Amino acid sequence: MPRSRDPNLDLLRAIAILMVLAFHIVPMWPTKYPALKAATHLGKYGVILFFVLSGWLIGGIYWREYAKEGRVRLGNFWMRRWMRTAPPYFAGVLLGYGAVRLARYEPFDFRYLFFLQNYETDMPFYRISWSLCVEEHFYLVLPFVGFALTKLNRTWAAIALWTLPLLPPLLRVIDPNAGLETPFGYGHAATHLIAEGLILGVAASFTARFFPQTWASIQKAASYLFVPALLVFASLTWWDEHSIYYAGQSVVAFCCLVWLAALAGRRAVPYSANSVVYAIAITSYSVYLTHSLAIHFARRYFVPKGSLGSELLCLVLWLTLIAASGILFYFCIERTAIALRERVTRQTKDPQGTSS
């Protein structure tokens, strides 16, 4: 594992993608297991864990450059973010639309080229891409928010950042186009309605950079709150859908922040430095982009015959196909995009030659 990586964050990233996989595999499994479906329903919040991690990591990059140079080079910041995420995203959209075109001859929606499909009333295809739209909007807006915050006293900037996560749940309540009953699109995936996890991650990175003693206190408190946060998260199983929609998503984001604060920069917890965890973590983006297509393919061609042995064999085949698709995509698309980014932005590195 590269020394620059935090194994504890890799563990959280691996957990996040496994949660998402469990949430999508169980409902698609030909044999219905209601208890298992209920147990894995919370897996959908793996995306919020990804958001908190992204806010922490990208916010950390932003604040580190600002603290070091007194400014952030916007062109370099945006170029590095977009070259890291956009090429794999467009490859995923191409694969997703290709499958849809073959299956039902659906016309292409050009909003997918501009990361705007999460603002449609009902996303027509490749619905997992909603979270990538949120991420890209976050990359676009963060420098402007960061610039505004640098004009404030740092204490007031911190207060503003820690207050901003209240905005998405408030907008879910007052936005007439939001609501639990809406199709999967704007009401469930619009960036301004679901961004509290990203904002919390940025607030945490700001505090860690400019208020290290306060951050140390937060981390100490988080270590005691780690298990209670797990219990609160598990309790969402018994929340009604309206409570989850309007408040539960913010509760999940806060729980994810507790876990991140308890683990980030600390001694590696057991198994976090494991090579399997590392492999899952570094391929998580590629697996996320390809897993829905792999699941649909597996559901069509690997159907259990009813016996336990058949069920287990098909599960192994499903998981193998998902992993193989993600790994192939990672080596062919994602790593190529990373290498291209390093070549294109090489001349815009800082004087020490570090990159992010």
Q: To the nearest 10°, the Cα dihedral for 36, 37, 39, 41?
A: 160
CA distance 78 to 124: 28
Q: How confident is the model at residue 351 (pLDDT cuts 50, 70, 90)?
A: very low
Residue 97 and residue 126 in contact, taking contact as beta carbons nearer than 8 Å: yes
User: Cα 88 to the chain's mean position, in Å?
Assistant: 15
pLDDT of residue 228: 98
CA distance 213 to 330: 39
Handedness of CA 139, 180, 25, 1 (dihedral sign): positive
Q: How confident is the model at residue 2 (pLDDT cuts 50, 70, 90)?
A: low
Task: Quote the mean pLDDT of the chain.
Answer: 93
CA distance 215 to 210: 9
Does the pLDDT at position 354 exceed 70? no
User: Cα 250 to the chain's mean position, in Å?
Assistant: 15
Residues of the chain above pLDDT 70, percent: 96
Q: How confident is the model at residue 44 (pLDDT cuts 50, 70, 90)?
A: very high
Tokens of 334: 């994602």
What is the domain partition of the chain in residue ranges? Answer: 7-347
pLDDT tens per residue, range 297-317: 999 999 988 888 999 999 999
- Mean local confidence (pLDDT), 72-91: 95
- Mean local confidence (pLDDT), 258-270: 96
Q: State the amino acid at position 123 in one-letter form.
A: M
Residues ≥6 apart with Cβ < 8 Å to 32: none
Residue 106 and residue 122 in contact, taking contact as beta carbons nearer than 8 Å: no
Q: How confident is the model at residue 151 (pLDDT cuts 50, 70, 90)?
A: very high
CA distance 224 to 220: 7
Does the pLDDT at position 3 exceed 70? no
Q: How confident is the model at residue 180 (pLDDT cuts 50, 70, 90)?
A: confident
Does the pLDDT at position 181 exceed 90? no
pLDDT of residue 350: 38
Does the pLDDT at position 57 exceed 80? yes
Residues ≥6 apart with Cβ < 8 Å to 85: 132, 135, 136, 139, 285
Tokens of 137: 């909007």
Tokens of 200: 């919390």
Handedness of CA 19, 42, 200, 173 (dihedral sign): positive
What letter would DSSP give residue 269? P
Q: How confident is the model at residue 1 (pLDDT cuts 50, 70, 90)?
A: low
pTM here? 0.94
Residue 147 and residue 213 in contact, taking contact as beta carbons nearer than 8 Å: no
